[in-house]
C-alpha cells in the first residue's frame, strides 16, 4: 500500500538533504490566495520548516538571509501536468548532476515550480531523477509520477507513434479489466504515485477511441485501493463519460472537443468532485480555443476545482507566459490563478497541512517573483527564486550570470 498521505510522509523524511535555514527579508508576502498581502515581511525557515512570518520578525544568528525588498513571495507553485519523457533525460540515472540540475531548472524550477506532477513517463527515468533529487545530488522539485499511462486496446495516440519501438512496447493497452488492474500494480511497484488513463485516445486527428468503461473502472479501483488519485486524458464527450463513470478524480486537460460538453455535464463533473487541469497553452493555436476557455471558466463558476498545469515535457517550449495569458483571457483573477498554483493542488493531494500556503509549521517552499500578479497576470512568470524547504533550487540571477 502506498497512500498519498504516506507518500507525502516519505518525501518529507527523505528530503532532509533539502532542508536548510533561510530568511527571506523585506518582501511583499501573500500567505494564501485569500490573504491580504503583507509588505516588508520576513519569512524565517529553520531545518526546512517555516518558523516565523510577518513584519518585525527577527532573524536568528547564523541564518542566511535573502534580501528581498523588491520581491513578491508566495507558497511554492505546483505544476500538476508535466512529462519527464524528453530524449535528453533518458539517462537520468547516470547523467552528470549539474547537467540534470540545469535541465530541470530550464524545464520547471526557473518557472517557480517547487512541486510537479508527472502525468505519464517511463518510471525508470522519472524515478531515477526523483531519487537523485531527493538525495540532494540534483537540485529539483518534489515529484509525483504516474509511471506509464494506460491506453485503450490497440489505440495508441498518433502523436506518440514516433517513439522508438522498444519504448512503444512498454506502453500498456489492456484488453481486459484484469490486465488493467495488473498494469496499475506494475506502475505502483515501479514507484508511481498517481494513475494516468487515456480514456479518449486520439489515434488520428479526427478519430478518438474511448477506453472501455470496465477497463477504466478496474484501473481506477486499484489506484484508489492504494490511495492514488486517478488522472484521465478525456479529449471528448465519450472519453469524459468514461472518466465520470469509472471514478476518475482529475481531468488532465480540459476536454478539447467542446461542442459536446454542455453545462449539465459540467455540473455533473462538479458533483462528482472531479478536478480539471486546463492546459490552455496546449490548445492556444486551435480554432476553438475561445470555446475551451469558456468551458474551463464555466466549470470554475459551477464550483469546479482547477489546478495549474502546462503539459511541459510534451510541449518542449518551457515558457509558461502563454498559460497565464490564456487564463487571464478566460476571465480568471490573479487570486484564482494563485489558488490553482498553490492551495488547490495541495488540498487535492491531501498535503494542505504542509504545503500550499505560507504559515508557521509548513514546509519552506516558496516562489519568489520580481513583480506582483495582482496588477499584471504575466508577473506569475517573472520568477526570481524557487525555494524548496529553505534551499534555493533555482535563481534567475544565477542563470542570467551563467553560473
Domain ranges of the chain: 4-145+253-401
Rounded Cα–Cα distance for residues 315 and 281 (Å)? 9
What pLDDT does residue 112 have?
Answer: 98
Q: Report the predicted TM-score, pTM, of the whole model to 2 decimal places.
A: 0.94
Task: DSSP letter for 137, please.
Answer: S
- Give 120's contacts (C-beta < 8 A, 6+ positions apart): 83, 85, 146, 147, 148, 149, 196
Three-class HEC string of 145-165 = ECCCCECCCCCCCHHHCCCCH
Q: Would you call 393 helix, strand, or coil by DSSP?
A: strand
C-alpha cell at 208: 478518438
Angle between helices 289-301 and 321-330 (to 10 degrees): 70
What pLDDT does residue 85 have?
Answer: 86
pLDDT tens for 88-140 read: 777 888 899 999 999 999 999 999 999 999 999 999 899 999 999 999 999 99
What pLDDT does residue 191 have?
Answer: 97
- Give 29's contacts (C-beta < 8 A, 6+ positions apart): 37, 38, 41, 43, 53, 72, 73, 358
What pLDDT does residue 400 have?
Answer: 55
What pLDDT does residue 10 have?
Answer: 42
- Give 32's contacts (C-beta < 8 A, 6+ positions apart): 75, 342, 343, 356, 357, 358
What pLDDT does residue 90 have?
Answer: 75
What pLDDT does residue 127 have?
Answer: 95
**Enclosing H/E stretch for 29:** strand 22-29
Do 82 and 125 meet the contact criterion of CB atoms below 8 Å apart?
no
Mean pLDDT by 10 residues, the chain (403 residues): 41 57 97 97 98 96 95 98 84 91 97 98 94 96 98 95 86 98 98 98 96 98 98 98 98 96 98 98 97 98 98 96 98 98 98 98 98 96 98 85 52
Helices (DSSP H) in 197-286: which residue ranges?
213-225, 237-246, 263-271, 280-283
Q: CA 260: distance to chain centroid?
A: 27
Do 145 and 193 meet the contact criterion of CB atoms below 8 Å apart?
yes
Amino acid at each position: 500500500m502506498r497512500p498519498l498521505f504516506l507518500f507525502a510522509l516519505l518525501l518529507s523524511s527523505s528530503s532532509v538533504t533539502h532542508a536548510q535555514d533561510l530568511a527571506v527579508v523585506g518582501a511583499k508576502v501573500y500567505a494564501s490566495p485569500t490573504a491580504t498581502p503583507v509588505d516588508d515581511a520576513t519569512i524565517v525557515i529553520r531545518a526546512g520548516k517555516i518558523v516565523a512570518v510577518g513584519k518585525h520578525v527577527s532573524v536568528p544568528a547564523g541564518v542566511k538571509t535573502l534580501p528581498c525588498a523588491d520581491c513578491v513571495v508566495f507558497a511554492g507553485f505546483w505544476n500538476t501536468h508535466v512529462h519527464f519523457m524528453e530524449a535528453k533525460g533518458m539517462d537520468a540515472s547516470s547523467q552528470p548532476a549539474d547537467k540534470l540540475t540545469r535541465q530541470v531548472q530550464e524545464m520547471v524550477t526557473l518557472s517557480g515550480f517547487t512541486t510537479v506532477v508527472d502525468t505519464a513517463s517511463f518510471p525508470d527515468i522519472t524515478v531515477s531523477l526523483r531519487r537523485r533529487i531527493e538525495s540532494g545530488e540534483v537540485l529539483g522539485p518534489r515529484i509525483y509520477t504516474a509511471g506509464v499511462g494506460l491506453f485503450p486496446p490497440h489505440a495508441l495516440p498518433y502523436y506518440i507513434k514516433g517513439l522508438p519501438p522498444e519504448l512503444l512496447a512498454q506502453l500498456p493497452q489492456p484488453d481486459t479489466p484484469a490486465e488493467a488492474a495488473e498494469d496499475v500494480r506494475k506502475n505502483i511497484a515501479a514507484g508511481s504515485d498517481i494513475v494516468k488513463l487515456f480514456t479518449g485516445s486520439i489515434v488520428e486527428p479526427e478519430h478518438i477511441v474511448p477506453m472501455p468503461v470496465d477497463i477504466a473502472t478496474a484501473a481506477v479501483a486499484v489506484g484508489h485501493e492504494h490511495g492514488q488519485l486517478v488522472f484521465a486524458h478525456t479529449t471528448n464527450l465519450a472519453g469524459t463519460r468514461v472518466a465520470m463513470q469509472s471514478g476518475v478524480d482529475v481531468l488532465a486537460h480540459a476536454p478539447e472537443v467542446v461542442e459536446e460538453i454542455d453545462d449539465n455535464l459540467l455540473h455533473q463533473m462538479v458533483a462528482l468532485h472531479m478536478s480539471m487541469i486546463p492546459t490552455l497553452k496546449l490548445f492556444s493555436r486551435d480554432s476553438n480555443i475561445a470555446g475551451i476557455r469558456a468551458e474551463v471558466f464555466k466549470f470554475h463558476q459551477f464550483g469546479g476545482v482547477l489546478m495549474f498545469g502546462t503539459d511541459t515535457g510534451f510541449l518542449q517550449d518551457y515558457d509558461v507566459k502563454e498559460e497565464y495569458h490564456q487564463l487571464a483571457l478566460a476571465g480568471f483573477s490573479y487570486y484564482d490563478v494563485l489558488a490553482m498554483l498553490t492551495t488547490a493542488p495541495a488540498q487535492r493531494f491531501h498535503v494542505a497541512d504542509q504545503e500550499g500556503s505560507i504559515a508557521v509549521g509548513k514546509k519552506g517552499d516558496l516562489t519568489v517573483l520580481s513583480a506582483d500578479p495582482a496588477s499584471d497576470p504575466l508577473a506569475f512568470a517573472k520568477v526570481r527564486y524557487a525555494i524548496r524547504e529553505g534551499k534555493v533550487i533555482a535563481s534567475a540571477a544565477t542563470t542570467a550570470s551563467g553560473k
